[in-house]
Amino acid sequence: MATEYALEEVEKKETYSYWRMVFKRFRKHKLAMTGLVILVAIIITVIVGPLIWRVDPIAQLEGPYELLSPSRDHPFGTDDFARDVLARWFAGGKISLMIGFAAAVSATIIGAVVGLVAGYFGGVVDAILMRIVDILLCIPTFPLLIALASVLGKGVWQIILVIVVFGWMGDARLVRSVVLSLKEEQFTEAAKAIGVSPSRIMFIHFLPNVMAPIIVSTTLGIGSSIVYEASISFLGFGVQAPLASWGNMLQNAQQYIWNAPRLVWYPGLAIFITVLSFNFIGDGLRDAMDPKLYR
Amino acid sequence: MKKLVEVQNLTKYFPVLGGVFSRPIGWVKAVDDVSFHIYEGETFALVGESGSGKTTCGKTVIRLIEPTKGKIIFEGKEITKLSQSEMRPLRRSMQIIFQDPYGSLNPRLPVGEIIREPLLVHNIGTKKEQEDRVVDVMKLVGLSPEYLHRYPHEFSGGQRQRIGIARAIVLNPKFIVADEPVSALDASIQAQVLNLLLDLQKKLALTYLLVAHNLAVVRHVSDRIAVTYLGKVIEVAETTELFSVPLHPYTQALLSAIPVPDPDVKRERILLQGDIPSPINPPSGCRFRTRCRFAKDICKEKEPPLIDVDGEHYVACHFVKKGKKTEYTVS
Amino acid sequence: MGNNELLLDLRNLQTYFFTDDGVVKAVDGMSFQIRKGEVLGLVGESGCGKSVASLSIIRLVDKPGKVVGGEIIFKGEDLLKKSEEEMRKIRGAEIGMIFQEPMTSLNPVYTIGNQIMEAILVHQDIGEEEAQKRSIELLKLVGIPEPERRFNQYPHELSGGMRQRAMIAMAMSSNPDLLISDEATTALDVTIQAQILELMKDLQKRTGMAVLFITHDLSLVAEMADIVAVAYTGKIVEYSDVRSVFKNPKHPYTFGLLRSVPSLVNEQRKVDLPAIEGMVPSPYHMPNGCHFHPRCPFATDVCRREMPELEEKLPSHYARCFHPVEVSKEVV
């Protein structure tokens, strides 16, 4: 009776690919959707803002304009160098977000490749790569960072480099553990029985299956990279004045925390809300991509 | 009859890792010195309970698991020592159907891609020809080609098993290892899949190595049966012969333990004592002796060889002699 | 079965699951009765609601599931009206339970003995020493060799069959009136399954408890049960004493299932089995009318329109079908 289609009377529902189902579920996640909306708003503000508010964030105003309170000319007021805080907030946001994206994405790519290779090949390759991870994880970051800053100099690219160098190990471990369990799956055995080559197994069979955790980890990674940038800049080893980032704006503001607390609030709240949004989105993605739902 | 597969002294030990340096501290003797052959066009079954090594044995025959010792001969050619890349062309003629219809399909690939992959990997035909072949095979296994672009999670267990079967036959193999192909399916679906397997065997002249624990299923589809216990084959016979004249005490107990869907049948059951011992430390001599009603001293001292007692009926028991003479007595 | 007293009377039980994708009527109007000392076999495939029904009886249905209707009369009282506190006293004392996977039902960090003792101490007013003595007796009762040694072992040190015996010991600890066995032998090997079935039969005979024996395997029901209830998509479709169900199945589903199972005696091997076509419908898209009609060879217009009632087709043999099977199984 094999010629009769077993599915015939099944409901003719729409076909959903995995990613469309993830999107459907994600949309139902209220917190994550809130995060997404806020984040998109922040990104648009940071990009479109400077096009409307055409004030040079670096230029110091001539005259006694330091630490002005918010006014029509300077909606966020000015800082201790008589620079327009709103313009700096836009510019700083762009840099902070850019560092967050660039650092987290690069760290994830490196981590994913290391994890795939270590997990798939196992043995000596795995042992060497994982010991490197262990070693890097034991190094206290900040002292090394200070040393690195003196060698590489201070700036945006150096910060990204530092965050990447110290940020890929978690992803490597994550991907490796997923690959180790995928290796035990029967579909891997099935692929081997067909005669599929190792590279095809790694990239056609494994990679799509590690995408879900990778995306969650990148999303959360962007948030933590932004915090990391802020901490480094706060210590004075990050983005250097006169260039603005939310982090070094905070650093500048610390001496005026009592007489001009708004200088702390603007970048501080921005970092807080942005990172929180990323975390909400990450949680939402994690729930939406829960592999248990699609087996 | 031509032998398609011949297995000689096949052995597979898995290391039990332990200690600080993850060194082997013991061995799981999953398959231990097993020999059998499979004729072209037949269904040969390996039956046994958990720990019998039947699945390991089936996978080792097609080199999905590397044997520790022994020889595997496929179509007259020894394949035991071939490298995995030398094995690749042979994979066209030997395939496997897995037990778990959920785990054996990559959840991120649409069904059409899953079935097409073997053609892609072996570079067979143009893209158009491959797609046509996929449609043909889907029809052959009873799946509507409409569902080509759907993902595994949209299918029920029985349909997924059909997808797995389609993937196994798309290359037109000669030999298929069917590892518990229906044990994960509901009763009403099992019969459908068994019918499909029988139908395909007729249409495509397939040879099956069926690995299963359900003796009713095995009896229905197999020509010859090998009963396994703790890594050993203890009895091999033609199906009706095995069910009418089981000679090994384990086979007798196993057959008597099968529940029958008939409330009027009240059978005398041979209840085995105790559990199946661990394959890490199997009993000395005859491995079944710890649960055997007839065990004597000799069973502890000497391992019984698998002997042909009556033309193609092999038994490994000290008390079964040529001509199906049984001499066991309860001690 | 000298005693004809009703022990459990399940009346029109409805347990629904409220999921994101819609309401799943896992149990949709299930009714059956178990008399004292009787074994009722509840049989069906995955998704028929048999396990949800058993969890409903002991009131352990988890969210998003909820019992939305019906009555569960146990010893004359409706369990659905009991407080959680009262239910705790019933579970494990008056109703014992054994499940499919003994490994997950046993806590890996406590010894077997500890867990049996706990079950005893919760429900019985006796001292620790007495409880320990009783635990060892129970282990002996369920055929565990060297009970004193096993008492101090952890679940992982026992084989699957031994663990299931330990679970049975725990379920038997308070001499329950009803034992619910949910696929208790499914994960076991055939020879071990045979041992456990013999043990359950023996205990049932000795204690006179009633058993709700839930399984997907018709052959086990044939062996164990006095009364059989066949479930399909949350409803009972056939209900009678075991002999009548197996010799004279009235519902096409039961009839089809019995015919599709490969036989151990049939002369004809390697031929097409008379399989039931199609598959169990998705719980989100139940067909109209009789839920079995898309797979039924005898379906007519009325089947597509209306859900049949469970009616008496032979003396005390009930089936939910407009066109009950007329021929006996042997003829076909």
Where along chain A do its domains lie?
77-271
ipTM score over 0.90, yes or no: no
Asked if C277's CB is within 8 angstroms of A1's CB, the reply is yes
Asked if C273's CB is within 8 angstroms of B195's CB, the reply is yes
Which amino acid appears at position C305 of this protein?
Answer: R
How confident is the model over A63-68, as a mean pLDDT? 68
- Write out pLDDT tens, residues A110-147: 999 999 999 988 888 888 999 999 988 888 877 777 77
Asked if B188's CB is within 8 angstroms of C275's CB, the reply is yes
Residues of chain B neighbouring C276 (CB-CB closer than 8 A): 188, 191-192
Neighbouring-strand partners of residue C9: C33, C73
pLDDT of residue C2: 45
Q: What pLDDT band is residue C230 in, cutting at 50, 70 and 90?
A: very high
The better pLDDT of the pair A217, A152 is held by A217
The better pLDDT of the pair B178, A275 is held by B178
pLDDT of residue B255: 93
The pair of structure tokens assigned to B29 is: 């003797």
Cα C148 from Cα A243, distance rounded (Å): 77
Is residue C129 within 8 angstroms of chain A, CB to CB? no
pLDDT of residue C328: 52
pLDDT of residue A139: 82
Chain B stretch 287-316, residues whose beta carbon is closer than 8 A to a beta carbon of chain A: none
Starting at the earlier edge strand, list the strands of the sheet with B69-74: B23-39, B3-18, B69-74, B77-78
Q: Which residues of B269-287 are buried (b: 16+ CB within 10 A; e: fewer)?
A: bbebeebbbebeebbebbb
The better pLDDT of the pair C74, B18 is held by C74
pLDDT of residue C241: 95
Cβ atoms B234, B227 nearer than 8 A: yes
How confident is the model over B212-237, as a mean pLDDT? 95
Q: What percent of chain C has pLDDT over 90?
A: 67
Asked if A6's CB is within 8 angstroms of C279's CB, the reply is yes
pLDDT of residue A236: 77
Q: Which chains touch C (3 or more CB pairs under 8 A)?
A: A, B
Is residue A14 within 8 angstroms of chain C, CB to CB? no
pLDDT of residue A246: 85
pLDDT of residue C331: 42
Is residue A193 within 8 angstroms of chain B, CB to CB? yes
Asked if B106's CB is within 8 angstroms of A6's CB, the reply is no
The better pLDDT of the pair B21, B202 is held by B202
pLDDT of residue C332: 41
The dihedral built from the CA positions of residue C153, C156, C162 and C163, taken in this order, carries a sign that is positive
Q: What pLDDT band is residue B1 in, cutting at 50, 70 and 90?
A: confident
Give residue for tokens 């706060």: A234
Helices and strands: H and E segment counts in chain B = 10, 14
- Write out pLDDT tens, residues B47-94: 999 889 999 999 999 999 999 999 999 999 999 999 988 999 999 999
Most confident option among A62-71, A151-160, C95-104, C305-314: C305-314
Asked if C242's CB is within 8 angstroms of B190's CB, the reply is no
Cα C7 from Cα C76, distance rounded (Å): 8
- Write out pLDDT tens, residues A201-244: 988 889 888 888 888 888 888 888 888 888 887 777 777 777 88
| H or E element in which residue B109 lies | none
Residues of chain A neighbouring C278 (CB-CB closer than 8 A): 6, 8-9
Cα A46 from Cα A53, distance rounded (Å): 11
Neighbouring-strand partners of residue C239: C229, C318
Asked if B269's CB is within 8 angstroms of C217's CB, the reply is no
Cα A87 from Cα A58, distance rounded (Å): 9
How confident is the model over B3-15, as a mean pLDDT? 95
Neighbouring-strand partners of residue A227: none
Cβ atoms B197, C270 nearer than 8 A: no
CA A112 remoteness from chain centre = 14
The better pLDDT of the pair B88, A256 is held by B88
How far are the Cα atoms of B244, B248, B326 from residue B315, in angstroms, in the given order?
15, 6, 11
- Write out pLDDT tens, residues A71-122: 777 777 777 777 777 888 888 888 888 988 999 999 999 999 999 999 988 8
pLDDT of residue A210: 87
How confident is the model over C92-119, as a mean pLDDT? 86
pLDDT of residue B68: 95
pLDDT of residue A16: 63
How far is C286 from chain A, CA to nearest CA, in Å? 10
pLDDT of residue A234: 78
How confident is the model over A239-250, as a mean pLDDT? 80
- Write out pLDDT tens, residues C298-308: 999 999 999 99
Is A4 a residue whose pLDDT tops 70? no
Maximum distance among all Cα pairs of chain A, rounded to whole angstroms:
92
How far is C21 from chain A, CA to nearest CA, in Å? 11
What average pLDDT does chain A have? 81
Residues of chain C neighbouring B260 (CB-CB closer than 8 A): 219, 222-223, 264
Using left for φ > 0, alpha for ψ between -120 and 50, and beta otherwise, residue C175 falls in left
C116 DSSP 8-state letter: H
Cβ atoms C211, C200 nearer than 8 A: yes
Cβ atoms C110, C103 nearer than 8 A: no
Which domains does chain B carry?
3-93+173-326 (3.40.50.300)
Interchain CB contacts (distance < 8 Å): A and B = 105
pLDDT of residue A9: 39
**Minimum mean pLDDT among A286-295, B202-211, C170-179, C192-201: which range?**
A286-295
pLDDT of residue B64: 93
Residues of chain C neighbouring B240 (CB-CB closer than 8 A): 269
Helices (H), chain C: 50-57, 84-90, 102-105, 112-123, 128-141, 147-151, 160-172, 190-207, 218-224, 242-247, 252-260, 301-305
pLDDT of residue C207: 93
CA A56 remoteness from chain centre = 28
The third-level CATH classification (topology) of the domain covering A77-271 is: MetI-like fold (1.10.3720)
Q: Which residues of C203-235 are buried (b: 16+ CB within 10 A; e: fewer)?
A: bbeeeebbbbbbbbbbbbbbbbbbbbbbbbbbb
- Write out pLDDT tens, residues B229-282: 999 999 999 999 999 999 999 999 999 999 888 888 877 888 888 888 988 999
Give residue for tokens 């009706």: B240
**Minimum mean pLDDT among B105-109, C223-227, C236-240: which range?**
B105-109
- Euclidean distance between the first and the last CA atom of chain A, given in angstroms as a whole number: 28
Partner-chain residue, chosen from C242, C260, C270, that has the shortest CB–CB distance to B198:
C270
Starting at the earlier edge strand, list the strands of the sheet with B94-97: B94-97, B175-179, B207-212, B43-47, B224-229, B232-238, B314-315, B307-308
CA-nearest of A179, A223, A237 to A38 is: A223
- φ and ψ at residue B74, rounded to 5 degrees: -120, 125
CA-nearest of A15, A30, A115 to A288 is: A30
CA-nearest of B223, B224, B248, B220 to B234 is: B248
CA-nearest of B193, A216, A170 to C272 is: B193
Asked if C278's CB is within 8 angstroms of A9's CB, the reply is yes
Partner-chain residue, chosen from C161, C197, C246, that has the shortest CB–CB distance to B262:
C246
The secondary structure of B8-62 as a DSSP string is EEEEEEEEEEETTTTEEEEEEEEEEEEEEEEETT-EEEEE--TTS-HHHHHHHHT
pLDDT of residue A67: 67
Is residue A250 within 8 angstroms of chain B, CB to CB? no
Asked if A9's CB is within 8 angstroms of C294's CB, the reply is yes
**Minimum mean pLDDT among A154-163, A173-182, A185-194, A212-221: which range?**
A154-163
pLDDT of residue C330: 46
Architecture of domain C1-94+178-186+208-332: 3-Layer(aba) Sandwich (3.40)
Is residue A2 within 8 angstroms of chain C, CB to CB? no
